[in-house]
Chains A and B, each alone.
Chain A
Amino acid sequence: MKNFQILRYLKKLLPIIIVFCIVATYGVYFKLSRSNTYIASEVIHYNDEQAEKGLAPTGEKLDVNEIKSSAVMSKVVDKMGLTGVYSVDSLISRIDITPIEDADKVTQKDAMLEEGEEYIYEPSTFIVSFASTSGEGPDFARTVLDEILDVYFEQFSQKYVNVAPANNTIDNIDKNDYDYIEMMELIDTSIDNTLSILYQRIEQNNYYRSTETGVSFAELADEFNYLRQVNVSALFSKIYKYQITKNKPVLVSDYTTRIDNNNISNEKDRSLIEDIVTVIDAYVTKMRESGNTNITYEYILDNLHERNVQDYVGDQTVTYDELIYSWRDCSESEEHAIIDSAYCQYILDTFTNCTGNCGGACTSSELTCAELSNEQYAAERAEVEREIDELLNELTALYDITMKTNDEYNKYLGASYISVLSSASVRESVNVTLYTAIAFFFLIVVCCGGAIVLGRAGDIINYIFYTDHLTELSNRAYLDKYLKAKDKKLLDDGVVYCMVDITNLAHINNECSRDTGDDVIRMFKNYLKENFGKSKTEYIYNGNGSFVMLTEESDYITVEDIMRLFRLRIDEREEHKDVVIEYRIGIAETFKENKTARKLLSEAIKNKKNYISDLNHKSVL
């Protein structure tokens, strides 16, 4: 049997193996890359202590899934200009939030719970991921995730930290049908509200300065104050002085209604106050009788300082204090309503006041005294309108700056309440390069293994059925198979069949022993193989001292030369010198003639010539 030569088996199928592996690997690569997704992930951590109790800074439940809210995502879609390209829901479905639990805290929690103690721990670190398809690429995933977190940080701050917005409530005030004095009141109230919010901000972070607008909340408050002190008060005084109004009857009825409303409110407050006083008296009497109030100064509340005050969230005000505060609030409401009524009356007096310049005509007229008598009224009214417009423009610009400053402050707070532990990194859901390489090597191994198995199986079959065991050459059965296979085909040019028969083999067997005969056969085989060298030849031992050499890609002359050398080798042999060997050589080729294998073989048989190798005499052709 042929030696086990891996390279021989592989060589045979190598081109097919390579082509198959390349094509199949490309197929795998194509499939993997088409179905692959990119996942951008970022690790965020809530810095606030409350977060570990699952609470937001305001004490509400912290819901990290707000990152996936449509409020966040719709803003992202807007910012990135993806409206109409992606639906908000489809993008939300690609977000994944995975909590990272602190192993120490979890152990501590488990231990405490085992001991029956309450221990609240919620993870405060999360991996936020966003997946993009292979078509969208890795940058899309990274960019969207960045935007999502940007928006979320700002929203988190707006919702849980910096809750009171400083909105512009006087936008388009001049487009509505407000009277001048009403417009000024609205402006004044708006400034007042804005100032109180700004003072809250100043209290939170006195030195915070927006880098985009370049101003701090303190400066914004100063600006609003300045406008109020200078422009607003100048306008108020001008409106009062010149009794400037759009419609006196409407104004008068408006303020009269306000006074009436205040009176009604007062009636209600007075009744409420009486009721509260009654309840307070009853409450005190009952408490006094119960003896609950009999607490001495020696009583010391134990261990309160050791408890976390934040565990006691919610209003703990006692009922009695609530009753007292209610009384105070109602009384204050009543008193303030009286003062507000006085203010309204002052406005009414101002606008209905007759200086006498109109000769008292204003009392029965729908116009004010100044409108009737002052020549400058029209000019002053136009001036007031212009100044209100200017003031509104200035305030709008200032509100714009305030909003921008506030937005930046929200982003700043968001980033200080939530920190980024690892910035966005993108990975493939499947490592295409790695898996492609693995697939390639796997295919190579499988194909090579298959080739080796097939090759070796072929060897075994050949050895069992088609090998002559004396010479280790193919046997007659192989020749029959070969001839059958080539039966209906014409041979190519360059096919040469050569037959060598030991004609006196029986004689050698008889005279010198069967072993000598076998030796001679083996010697013939060796010399033949030696001389045909590495030409493309198949050697067949046809039995009974007959050899057939099927040579391809050769010619008659070459084989003839080889056989000439073969004869010389036989004549120069070192073994069995005393044995006279008679043999025949027949050669046939397909040169310029289309022949079948059988025909060529018969031709070779026909062309056989006899030779004798007797070392005492030279062989003759």
Chain B
Amino acid sequence: MFTDILQKLIILTVGIIFVSSAAIIFFRQKNVNRAERTQIFKTAEYLNAWIILICFVTTIVYGIFNHFELKKTVHAIVSLNYSEASQALNSNGTRYNMAEIICDEVVERAIKKGALEDVTVKQLKNCLVVYPCVQGGVGDESQYHISTEFAVQYYASKDTAHLDSENVIKLITSSYKEYYIEKYTDNFSLDPEKPDFTQMEYMDIVSYFEKETQAILNYLYGMSEKNPSFVTENGSTFNSIAGKVYQFKETQIDQNLRSLILQNGIVRDRDEYVDRLSYQNKNVDFDRQKNEASYRLCNEAIDMYSEEMTRVVLVPTWDQAGKYYMGRTKVGVDELSVMATNFSNYVASNEKEIMDNNLVIDKIASTGQDTQISSVDTLIDSIYESVKGFEKEAITAGREYSRHRMNQCIAVSIYGISIMGELKTLILFAAFVYVSLVLHHISKKFPKKA
């Protein structure tokens, strides 16, 4: 603020000299005739040592203040480089909101990242402005424009004068980039914490691995849907990695580990686990009964359906392949048949679950286990490592793809003080001072009276 006031004071002083001199010359010019006026201007000491010296010193002093003043203002250009930006979308398909560049969360992050002292989010936010570099209009379609470049401007206030402006804008933009990456860019990871397998029931570990590998598969299939032909640096595609994971899941988890546990009846707490399975069976059995009742009732409803009411008419239409197809109007029995089939499937599924549980209960009850525990534990550790390996491979491939697709996501350019700009200002200021001083010098030569 101090430099600001001094800078303005200098300009004001020089301005007053300029205006007063010009006014004096203007009002006193009538005191001389044209020849005398010309004479005054011709004989004025344009290279007066004092004038040049004062001009030089004033310009230097002004230059110093101007430099400090300019240091308070920095701006950055945030460019959105990903393809969705041209549709005013974030990279995850949600609507892009420019105001987030200087939202509270970003500013708070910047303060934390830069360990900025003695400044609050509100104070810092008050110094920031964001606006699109180019904005269109809404008059007609030719004026429509989706902004993908935004300028963030920082002007230090009294509360933030102690901060380095360039660092502030760097921190704001890098915090925004970090915030954006966290919020809007592809993101996938499994639970980073390794579960305590010693506290888990063996069959639960199998379920855990199935869940984790399925998550990897989901991720890979999702990425593959976005770009099935993308090839990573080491020559893999999402589908090829997914193939490996699927195979691993099928053989190592569903077959090897599960069968090893099952065939050897390996369990940590036999009674508790059997109780659990029994409860599940009881619970599923209630569901099965309900599904079976529903199935039976659908069938009874079909039986009840009067023969006369099942009359249908034909409807010419086309099938999924776009070929002409003679359909027919639906009646209640169609719906009931579908429902009956569904309930039948649920019943079958319930029965399978019960049978599976019974099988496990039987195996646990009938088989000794101690001999194979260590080999199962080893297998579990090895599977865990493999799953983590697959996770890493999938993430790396996804990240490579994101990097390729996002084109660095957000690019930031920071524009601080331009030396050439400062020089231009100084030259203009020096010229202004010089003209003012010369005018002042000349004005003294105009007589007060004719």
Contact = CB atoms under 8 A, between A and B. Distances in A.
Interface of A: 15, 41-43, 81, 127, 129, 138-139, 142-143, 146-147, 149-150, 153, 207-216, 218-219, 222-223, 225-226, 229-230, 233-234, 236-238, 240-241, 280, 284, 287-288, 293-295, 297, 299-301, 304-305, 318, 320-321, 324-325, 327-328, 331-332, 335-336, 339, 342-343, 346, 408, 411-412, 414-416, 419-427, 492-494, 534-536, 552-554
A137 to B, nearest CB: 9
Nearest to A416: B93
Contacts of A535: 33
Interface string B258-279: 0000000000000010011011
A328 B336 contact: yes
Nearest to B225: A207
B112 to A, nearest CB: 19
Contact of B279 (A230, A236, A280): A236
B282 A346 contact: yes
B371 interface: no
B341 interface: no
Nearest to B274: A237
29 contacts: A129-B138, A139-B131, A150-B97, A211-B184, A211-B185, A212-B182, A218-B218, A226-B211, A229-B280, A230-B201, A233-B280, A236-B279, A237-B272, A237-B279, A238-B272, A295-B312, A295-B313, A320-B306, A320-B309, A328-B300, A336-B294, A339-B286, A342-B286, A408-B94, A412-B93, A420-B87, A422-B143, A425-B135, A494-B449
Interface in B184-212: 184-189, 201, 204, 207-208, 211
A6 B138 CA distance: 47
B342 to A, nearest CB: 13
Interface size class, chain B: 35 or more
A331 B297 contact: yes
A229 B91 CA distance: 36
B290 A336 contact: yes
A566 B286 CA distance: 137
A493 B135 contact: no
A142 B183 CA distance: 22
Contacts of A552: 450
A501 B35 CA distance: 30
Given A236-B279, A420-B87, A427-B137, A209 B219 contact: yes
Contacts of A208: 222
Max chain B CB contacts within 10 Å: which of A81, A143, A240, A554? A143
Interface string B304-348: 111011011111111000000000010110011000000000000
By secondary structure, the A interface counts as helix
A325 B318 CA distance: 29
A96 B219 CA distance: 43
A518 B301 CA distance: 137
A212 to B, nearest CB: 5
Nearest to B94: A411
B146 interface: yes
Contacts of B98: 142, 146, 423-424
Contacts, number: 243
Nearest to B26: A15
Given A342-B286, A420-B146, A423-B146, A127 B308 contact: no
B138 A127 contact: yes
Interface string B132-150: 1001111001011111000
B97 A146 contact: yes
B34 interface: yes
A419 B138 CA distance: 15
A412 B309 contact: no
Contacts of B313: 295, 299-301
Interface in B102-145: 104, 129-132, 135-138, 141, 143-145
Max chain B CB contacts within 10 Å: which of A305, A346, A425? A425
A238 B276 CA distance: 8
A299 B326 CA distance: 12
Contacts of B185: 211
Interface string B215-236: 1001101100100000000000
Nearest to A303: B316
Contacts of B215: 215, 219, 222
A146 B286 contact: no
Nearest to B135: A425
Given A339-B289, A534-B33, A324 B188 contact: no
B301 A422 contact: no
Contacts of A146: 97-99
Contacts of B33: 534-535
Contacts of A207: 218, 221-222, 225
B237 to A, nearest CB: 16
Nearest to A147: B99
A332 B214 contact: no
B19 to A, nearest CB: 12
A305 B94 contact: no
A497 B93 CA distance: 92
B449 A493 contact: yes
B244 interface: no
B414 interface: no
B88 interface: yes
B204 A300 contact: no
A553 B33 CA distance: 10
Contacts of B26: 15
Contact of A320 (B188, B294, B332): B332
Given A293-B311, A419-B87, 10 more contacts: A212-B183, A216-B219, A226-B211, A236-B279, A240-B279, A280-B304, A288-B306, A321-B332, A324-B332, A422-B144
A489 B293 CA distance: 125
A158 B294 CA distance: 33
Contacts of B278: 237
A159 to B, nearest CB: 16
Contact of B300 (A211, A236, A305, A331): A331
